[in-house]
Amino acid sequence: MKKVLCSIVCALCMLQLSAQDYPNIPNPGFESWDGLTPTGWTTHLYGDIVNINLEKSKFAYLVQMDFATKTADAHSGDWALKLQAMTLVPPRGPKVTMPGVAQVGAAGEFVIDYSMIEAFMGLDSFVVDWTLLQYISVEELGTVANIFAKGVPFNMVPTAVKAWVKFIPQEGVSDTMSVWVGAFRAGEPSYIMWGDEPSAGHGYAEFSDRMNEYTQITVPLEYSSEDVSCDSLVLIFVSTSISAPKEETVLYIDDITFEFDYTSVRSNEKVNMRLYPNPATDYMVVSLDNQADLYELTVYDVNGKQIKHLESLTGDARVAVNDLSAGTYFLKVQQAGNTTVRKFVVE
Domain span at residue 304 reads 264-346
Residue-wise pLDDT tens digits, 176-198: 999 999 887 766 655 454 445 66
- Predicted pLDDT of residue 182: 86
Residue 88 and residue 206 share a domain: yes
Of 86, 129, 131, give the one whose Cα is nearest residue 247: 86
Considering 223, 244, 260, which residue would you say is the last residue of a domain?
Answer: 260
Instruction: Judge whether residue 307 has pLDDT over 50.
Output: yes
Number of domains the chain contains: 2
**Which residues have a Cβ under 8 Å from the Cβ of 324 and sit 6 or more positions away?**
299, 307, 346
Mean local confidence (pLDDT), 331-340: 83
Considering 228, 243, 260, which residue would you say is the last residue of a domain?
Answer: 260
Residue 254 and residue 272 share a domain: no
Instruction: Judge whether residue 4 has pLDDT over 50.
Output: no
Instruction: Judge whether residue 128 has pLDDT over 60.
Output: no
Mean local confidence (pLDDT), 24-41: 92
Residue 309 and residue 176 share a domain: no
- Predicted pLDDT of residue 261: 62
Residue 316 and residue 277 share a domain: yes
Range from 4-8, 41-45, 261-265 carrying the lowest mean pLDDT? 4-8
Instruction: Judge whether residue 86 has pLDDT over 80.
Output: yes
User: In CATH, what number is assigned to the domain containing residue 30?
Assistant: 2.60.120.260
Residue 244 and residue 280 share a domain: no
Residue-wise pLDDT tens digits, 277-291: 999 999 999 999 998
Which amino acid, one-letter code, is at 167? Answer: F
Residue 323 and residue 228 share a domain: no
Residue 337 and residue 275 share a domain: yes
Provide the pLDDT confidence category of residue 339 given band limits of 50, 70 and 90: confident
Residue 290 and residue 240 share a domain: no
Beta bridge partners of 346: 280, 327
Mean local confidence (pLDDT), 49-78: 81
Q: Is the dihedral of CA 147, 153, 155, 159 positive or negative?
A: negative
Considering 260, 287, 315, which residue would you say is the last residue of a domain?
Answer: 260
Q: Percentage of the chain with pLDDT > 70?
A: 71
- Predicted pLDDT of residue 178: 95
Residue 100 and residue 210 share a domain: yes
Identify the residue with better confidence: 37 or 227: 37
Instruction: Judge whether residue 1 has pLDDT over 70.
Output: no
Provide the pLDDT confidence category of residue 50 given band limits of 50, 70 and 90: low
User: In CATH, what number is assigned to the domain containing residue 342?
Assistant: 2.60.40.3080
- Predicted pLDDT of residue 194: 45
